A and B are shown apart, each in its own frame.
Chain A
Amino acid sequence: MSRNRDLLSKIGLRLDGRRPDELRRIRCKLGVFTEPDGSAYLEQGLTKVLAAVYGPHQVRGGRSKAQHDTAIINCQFSMAVFSTTDRKKRPRGDRKSTELSMHLQQALEAVIKSELYPWSQIDVYVEVLHADGGIYTACVNAATLALIDAGIPLKEYVCACTASLANNDVPMIDISHQEEIIGGPTLTVAALPMSGKIVLMEMSQRFHMDHLEKVLNKALQGCKDIRQILDEAVRLHVRDIGSSTGWANTS
């Protein structure tokens, strides 16, 4: 039944009233916790994510893991039990969480200048408070902000965005949970928007090769848009902190 529902109405609006190339509303805040070295809160539509970064610090739990030339990046993904419509049984440690942790680590390793911190470790914890599609992308974006808040040197922003095909023809970005269920293959891309490098790409289903290029381009465009938003948030945050210490007045 849901197959028959159009993801994109004939007037060109999606089910929630967005146009195909519009992101959901992104709201974010840096430095939400005091205990961790860096933290961030990010809302992408109704998807809400908290991220916290500890480190760089000494490698914990077995010295053998430590590397002489680089820092270990340790990611942990978890979903609050109340984040979905059905109460989740395990917040972390299940197959999906483990997979997402690994993917997150892969994306972050690509941007952190980890060679600056040999023999050390950086911990990134992300917690999904409310899941409404695009969990992974929200996590990557929140983790980026938390890393920036922690002052860890990054090569550039890493942003993630999803894209899909509406009615098997029109590419659309930032897929909500409802759109995920109704169908259509979802392409998740984590990219370095400034250099245009792709650090992770994943597809939930197959679609025809012909579509790949346009869907990918849309997703990359989405990443760039997200970077813009994150960048603004970071600048605002830095200005706020700066003004409290007084250096903003000098400039």
Chain B
Amino acid sequence: MFTTKVFIKKTRIGNFLKNVREHYIRDDIFCGVPSCDKCTPVESFLSSIHKNECSSYDFNHYLILDTNVILDQMDVLDEDVIGNVIILHTVLKEVKHRSLPIYKRLHSIIENPSRHFYVFTNDHHKDTYIKQNDGELVNDYNDRSIRKSCLWYMDHLPKEKFIFLSDDVNNRNIALEEGILACSIREYVSHLVNGAALEDKLSRKDYHIDSNTKDVFPPHLTNVELLNGIKEGALYQGTFRASRDNFLEGFVNVESLDDPVIVQGRTGLNRAVDGDFVVVNLFNKEDWISPSEIVLEDDGVAEENIDEVEKKERQLKKSAHKKKGEIKPTGRVVGIIRRKWRQYCGILQGGMDGVYQLFIPADKSIPKIRIETRQAEFLRTQKLIVTIDSWPRHSRYPHGHFVRALGKIGDQNTENEVVLLEHDVPHSQFSEEVLSCLPKLPWIITEEDEQKRVDLRHIDICSVDPPGCTDIDDALHCRPIGEGRLEVGVHIADVSHFIRPGTALDLEAASRATTVYLVNKRIDMVPDLLSSNLCSLRGGEERFAFSCVWEMDENANILNTRFHKSIIRSRSAMTYEEAQMTIDDKTKTDSIAESLRSLNKLAKILKKGRLEKGALVLASPEVKIQMDSETMEPLDVEVKKLFETNSMVEEFMLLANISVAQKILEDFPECAMLRRHPTPPTSNFDPLVKAGRHLGFDIKIESGKQLAKSLDDAVKPDNPYMNTMLRILATRCMLQAVYFASGSLQKDEYFHYGLAVPLYTHFTSPIRRYADIIVHRLLAVTCGSDCTYPDLLDKQKTGNLCQNLNYRNRMAQYAGRASVAFNTHLFFKGKLQDEDGYILYVRKNALQILIPKYGLECTLFLAHKGETSNIFEYNEEDQTQKAGDVVLHSFDPVKVRLSLNSDNIQHEKFVLQLVSPCISGFSVPPLSEIEKMEVVDDKKRKSANDGHKKKNKKRS
């Protein structure tokens, strides 16, 4: 059958266009119920074994859901208890239209056979299709279609029972009138047999606002008002970013304005949550303020009590001042276009009775969430996941519901889980489907393989990696080939040989994008068999490799480059330290030692050349945590040691990456996967230039080369660490390097700023990065050892892939840092130490201190929150703090006492106290002296400790 759909649509320019589309109605769509004998059986996960048991209905039944149930109660649907659900196509389309994330979740449930979901295409079925009446709203039409399908099912299968779940009272009542068994999800779940735990997960969306309670927030404008306002230019739209330090402040990044718009206070923020797409109304220019510099935390405990907020608001207002030059556009949020609510990790706030509990998210930019639970006692010991459902006007906090518990607070595994979840790292076990793509053991090299590959087993190749590394993806060799020439080879594990495009393994790796390294855990991108065995270039074993071989002269000029797949046998897998010792040990003259020496020599020349071209040497305080292998507790925190060999390996990897980038761009101008590092905008360098000026150095930032040179020149003999600090500052000015498809940008944008090369890509770590696998595939095509496949040459798909890779990489980096931070905290628990540090920044009420030994950066408060110190005098111009005759500048060395404040279990933080320079009334005596005093005067120490505790409390 055939019908047409006619609808009128407004175009972007404002014209009205009439669209006519075909709509085919079919007779080959089936009900999917296994007991049906009228329909041709189709693939359907509905099962006659699964039973939905609900005490309000004394028979087994199938469920048909309304759209609102799926949109709001996805967490309930995620539970296995509910099965045999029929999803109507009308509903599916509506869900997709309203919320893509929910649609994706629903889809994964539908695809899972054990959940028994079935999609019934009601809008193309000959009996369930209905025509939209004239003037009927889309919503009413959809509701009518859903009811029509329910009736059809009941009529079609009189023996089976169908229950229609809807939270829309109107729809439900009409359904009941028509004789359909209908009820609300809340009612259904509360009567569900073994569904007690589900009740907590019900979303608390309140459709009806209780008019008796006092409004805490001003109402949002209606959508029409918002759109008109934006069109007329009176309102602006942008992404809301909450401040991490001040819960009553946030910024809205508006595209058409240069500066972000400040929004302050309860009414200013008006229920916006970090990430939401909001509409702001700008104040008049004379009311504009500068960002506040005070730190405010939400100490609210009870739902109704807003006095405390009002107090803080006043405090904020008082502190608001109008500094010249720093006044930014200010406004208030008047409406929210799109919520960006996700699931949040966190803990319950203690000290509350009853079913209503407050949840404190780990992310400080998210407000507390009110949830309803009957298992508060248990949940208080756990880390949990909670999601926001709604934020009505009369409520101080958003309403949410509990999703699941992760484990005990403070437990290593729980914390790892939290880190992984908060950073959206896919970390589940590899599925059976993925594992089935792996090669079978024992794995042998066939003759066919030998024919296709260059045999390099006779060459002395070795690998150099950090100690304990099991995923060795690069190996090197160097040998003289006469006439003063050297042959240098970089051999990279041939992962793309094992991971074929389009397989489940490939898709999984592409979605993971990178291996994530936590302190005591590694989340592999590819299964263990590949990452630490078949692909890993272990010493003494024959492995497949992708080789990049150069002919070089003595001065490291490349005469000739070639790429080919090969078979290698690494002579030995060395650590950086071993390699260094081999090079330094003059008695060793075997071929490995010789080749390492010449590699080292070449690397030095290469590095020099690179630096001359303007490559930046940046620094970041990186630490390594020594773990106890049994108790999994951190033993020691230390800064990573660097050897000459580190730089040697790095140099050749860079060279290989650059050579490969040139080659693949040549052959795939449209779809080569490259990596670029954008030049940062000059405003990014402001802090660096400022800091340099205070120290009497002129930091030039016009080009990377000048920056590199001025950083090299900025050396003070009396403070050798200062240069490193400048480089740390410089690192923070940089933008992120990103992957991109070559066809999506102009040629001059390919530039890699940090390395100062026009072309760069990632080729050398295919075991732990997916980008490298793609590059391997591209390169394999150029050297004729593999063929292309459609997606590889699709610019759009490569672009999408790059976006995922960039996102995952960034998240992996953050996750790694979060893990280090957690373990550092664990290490310092209960410890009190005096350490050397340097002042990184001077702030109005605090000093930012860097402790290089642990790579820590902490804040030393000079005064309590919101107060100005009476000891210190802040000089804004010079960025100094003065106390008596002691003046503290940026980069000054200091000694501080380090301890961990665990008052807030979610955000343990370091507390610093100044030890030297000695400022009376503020600094504390060194620990060594305290120990002496301890014997003499026990009392004194006690009181000092109390004072210390008090201080902590105030800061928490």
Bound-state CA distance A213–B89 (Å) is 33
A10 in contact with B21 (CB, 8 Å): no
Interface members, chain A 196-236 (any B CB < 8 Å): 207-211
CB within 8 Å for A168 and B89 given contacts A17-B26, A207-B790: no
Q: Which residues of chain B in 1-20 are interfacial with respect to chain A, using CB atoms and an 8 Å cutoff?
A: 2, 4, 17-20
Q: Check if B2 sits within 8 Å of A25, measured CB to CB.
A: yes
Please state if B796 and A3 are interface contacts (CB–CB under 8 Å).
yes
Interface residues of A in 39-71 (CB under 8 A from B): 45-46
B224 CB, nearest partner CB in chain A, Å: 22
Q: What 0/1 readout, one digit per residue, does chain B (769-808) give for beta carbons within 8 Å of chain A? A: 0000000000000000000111101101100000000000
Which residues on the A side are within 8 Å of B797 (C-beta)?
168
Report if A17-B124 is in contact (Cβ < 8 Å); known contacts: A11-B89, A24-B22, A176-B22: yes
Is the beta-carbon distance between A46 and B2 smaller than 8 angstroms? no
User: Contacts A85-B18, A168-B797; is A11 near B790 (CB within 8 Å)?
Assistant: no
Closest CB in chain B relative to A118 CB, distance in Å? 45
| Cα–Cα distance between A25 and B1 once the two chains are bound (Å) | 9
- B124 — which chain A residues lie within 8 A by C-beta? 13, 17
Given A3-B796, A85-B17, A168-B794, the answer on whether A208 and B22 have CB atoms closer than 8 Å is no
Query: Would you call B790 and A45 a contact (CB within 8 A)?
Result: no
CB of B98 to closest CB in A, whole Å: 15
B17 and A16: CB pair below 8 A? no
Q: How far is the CA of A10 from the CA of B118 in the complex (A)?
A: 12
**Cβ distance A101 to chain B, nearest Cβ, rounded Å:** 27
The total of chain A residues at the interface (CB under 8 A) is 23
Query: Once the chains bind, are A16 and B24 in contact (CB under 8 Å)?
Result: yes
> Is B562 interfacial (CB 8 A cutoff)?
no
Proximity string of chain A (86-100) to chain B, C-beta cutoff 8 Å, 1 when within and 0 when not:
100000000000000
Q: Which residues of B contact A3 (CB under 8 A)?
A: 796
Taking a contact as CB atoms under 8 Å apart, the answer to whether B121 and A11 are in contact is: yes
Of B24, B26, B110, B794, the most chain A CB neighbours within 10 A belong to: B24
- Is A243's beta carbon under 8 Å from chain B? no
List the A residue with the shortest CB-CB distance to B110.
A10
Asked if A46 contacts B4 (CB within 8 A), the reply is yes
Residues of chain B at interface, number, CB under 8 A: 27
CA distance A24 to B17 in the complex (A): 24
- Is A239 in contact with chain B by the CB < 8 A criterion? no
Q: CA separation between A211 and B792, bound complex, in Å?
A: 13
**B788 touching A208 by the CB < 8 A rule?**
yes
Question: DSSP class of B's interface residues: helix, strand, loop or mixed?
Answer: mixed
Q: A3-B796, A17-B26, A17-B124 are in contact. Are A168 and B791 (CB under 8 A)?
A: yes
| Distance, CA A85 to CA B17, complexed state (A) | 7
B850 nearest CB across to chain A (Å) = 45
B25: interface (CB < 8 Å) = yes
On whether the beta carbons of A168 and B790 are closer than 8 Å, the reply is yes
Q: How far is the CA of A10 from the CA of B4 in the complex (A)?
A: 23
**Complex: how many Å from CA A10 to CA B111?**
10
Scan A118-143; emit 1 where CB is below 8 A from any B CB, else 0: 00000000000000100000000000
Give A3 to B789 CA distance when docked, in angstroms: 21
Q: Is the CB of A16 within 8 A of B23?
A: yes
Task: Look across to chain B and name the residue whose beta carbon is closest to the beta carbon of A16.
Answer: B22
Contacts of B123 in A (CB 8 A): 17
- Between A and B, how many residue pairs show CB distances below 8 Å? 55
Contact A211 B790 (CB under 8 A): yes
**Chain A residues, CB < 8 A from B121:** 11, 13, 17
Q: Which of B23, B107, B789 contacts A17 (CB 8 A)?
A: B23
Q: Mark A151-194, 1 if CB is under 8 A from B, else 0.
A: 00000000000000000100000001010000000000000000
Which of chain B's residues have a CB closer than 8 A to the CB of A208? 788-790, 793-794
B119 in the interface (beta carbon within 8 A): yes
- Inter-chain CA distance A122–B796, complex, in Å, is 46
- Judge whether A210 and B790 touch: CB under 8 Å: yes
Determine the residue in chain A with the shortest Cβ distance to B93: A9
Of listed B25, B26, B107, residue having the most chain A CB within 10 A: B26
- Of the candidates B18, B20, B25, the one having the most CB atoms from chain A within 10 angstroms of its own CB is B20
| Residues on the B chain within 8 Å of A45, using CB | 22
CA distance A210 to B119 in the complex (A): 32
Contacts of B4 in A (CB 8 A): 46
**Contact A46 to B790, CB < 8 A, known contacts A13-B121, A168-B797:** no
Residue of B with least CB distance to A130: B20
Given A11-B119, A85-B19, A176-B22, A210:B789 Cβ within 8 A: yes
Main secondary structure of the interface of A (DSSP, over half): loop
Considering the chains assembled together, what is the distance between the CA atoms of A168 and B17 in angstroms? Answer: 30
Query: Which residue of B is nearest A169, CB measured?
Result: B790
B120's nearest neighbour on chain A, judged by CB, is: A11
B27 CB to closest chain A CB, in angstroms?
12
Give the residues in chain B near A211, CB-CB below 8 Å.
Answer: 790
Q: Enumerate chain A residues within 8 angstroms of B793, measured Cβ to Cβ.
A: 208
Q: How far is the CA of A13 from the CA of B26 in the complex (A)?
A: 11
Residues of B contacting A86 in the complex (Cβ-Cβ under 8 angstroms): 17
A132 neighbours in B (Cβ, 8 Å): 20, 22
Q: How far is the CB of A45 from chain B (nearest CB, A)?
A: 5
Q: Give bound CA distance, A132 to B797, whole Å.
A: 28
Q: Please, how many angstroms separate the alpha-carbon atoms of A242 and B26 in the complex?
A: 36
Looking at the assembled complex, report how far the CB atom of B7 sits from the nearest CB atom of chain A, in whole angstroms. 12
Chain B residues positioned under 8 Å from A24 (CB to CB): 22
The answer, among A15, A17, A46, A85, for a CB contact under 8 Å with B25, is: A17
Cα A208 to Cα B22 in complex, Å, equals: 30
Cβ proximity bits A1-43 to B, threshold 8 Å, 1 near / 0 not: 0010000001101011110000011000000000000000000
The closest CB in chain A to the CB of B794 belongs to A168
Residues from chain A with a CB closer than 8 A to the CB of B20 are 46, 132
Residues in A whose Cβ lies below 8 Å from that of B789: 208, 210
On chain B, the residues within 8 Å of A13 by CB distance are: 121, 124
CA distance A210 to B796 in the complex (A): 18
Q: Which residues of B contact A17 (CB under 8 A)?
A: 22-26, 121, 123-124
Chain A residues positioned under 8 Å from B788 (CB to CB) = 208-209
The distance in angstroms between the C-alpha atoms of A211 and B791, with both chains bound, is 11
Question: Which B residue's beta carbon lies closest to that of A176?
Answer: B22
Q: A residues within 8 A CB of B119?
A: 10-11
Chain B residues positioned under 8 Å from A11 (CB to CB): 89, 119, 121
A211 and B24 alpha carbons, distance in the complex (Å): 27
* Distance between A41 CB and nearest chain B CB, rounded to angstroms: 17
Chain A residues with CB under 8 Å of B24's CB are 16-18, 25
Residues in A with CB closer than 8 Å to B22 are: 16-17, 24-25, 45-46, 132, 176
Q: In the bound complex, how far is the Cα of B123 from the Cα of A196, in angstroms?
A: 38
Partner of B21, one of A25, A178, A207: A178
CA distance A11 to B28 in the complex (A): 13
0/1 interface trace, chain B 100-127, chain A, CB 8 Å (1 if under): 0000000100100000000101011000
Closest residue of chain A to B788, judged by CB? A208
Bound state CA distance, A13 and B123, in angstroms?
A: 11
The complex places the Cα of A24 from the Cα of B4 at a distance, in Å, of: 12
CB distance from A179 to the nearest CB of B (A): 11
Closest CB-CB distance, A160 to chain B, in whole Å? 19
Cβ contacts A to B, 26 pairs, < 8 Å: A3-B796, A10-B107, A10-B110, A15-B21, A16-B21, A16-B22, A16-B24, A17-B121, A17-B123, A17-B124, A24-B22, A25-B2, A25-B22, A25-B24, A46-B20, A46-B21, A46-B22, A85-B17, A85-B19, A168-B790, A168-B797, A178-B21, A208-B789, A208-B793, A208-B794, A210-B790
Report the 5 A-B pairs with minimum CB-CB distance, sorted nearest first: A208-B790, A17-B24, A17-B124, A16-B22, A85-B17
New A-B pairs, 7, CB < 8 Å, besides A3-B796, A10-B110? A10-B119, A17-B123, A18-B24, A25-B22, A46-B4, A178-B21, A208-B789
